Amino acid sequence: MSKRVYDIKVERCGGSTYFLEEYKGKVLIIVNTATNCALNDQFEGLETLYQKYKNDGLVVLSFPCNNFDNQEPGSMDEIYNTYRRRFGITFPIHSKTIVNGDNEHPLYTLLKREKPGLFGSQIKWNFTKFVIDREGKVVGKYLPYDSPEEMEEFIKELLNE
């Protein structure tokens, strides 16, 4: 079992894989996303944060997820095009990712271990957001109904460290 976020290998939307160590020294927001989720208006806030702070070292990483009510049923091509065209996303999009259960991705196993919820470690819904500091530590967790704007002050503090 991986002990650091940087040790985790993930798959880009196009199928190539890489280790999150590629983002060493950056502040990361890792979020499970879904096109058909009622919370998809958060794409706009996440993109705004990314555009505002990417030159300071912020990276938002989207992990499309079909774990909740079949809200991300499309192919990866469909998901990619929807995220780029409909939602205007420019931050990195990854392959569909399982966030709970026996086949959950090791990234989510680590994130949930480091920042469990009050009532257990399972991801409850789409748009659960984890914040990783420049050292690769999981330092924050924001619930689905927490808006990206609510994260901004914390993100600014981390970027200024």
Question: What does pLDDT average to over the chain?
Answer: 94
* Residue 27: strand, helix, or coil: strand
Q: Looking at residue 120, what is its pLDDT?
A: 73
pLDDT digits (tens, 9 = 90+) for 108-136: 999 999 988 766 788 999 999 999 999 99
Q: pLDDT tier at 37 (50, 70, 90 boundaries)?
A: very high
The domains of the chain, with CATH numbers, are 5-159 (3.40.30.10)
Q: Looking at residue 106, what is its pLDDT?
A: 95
Catalytic residues: 37
Q: What is the pTM of this model?
A: 0.95
Structure tokens at 123: 């991801």
Q: Looking at residue 1, what is its pLDDT?
A: 53
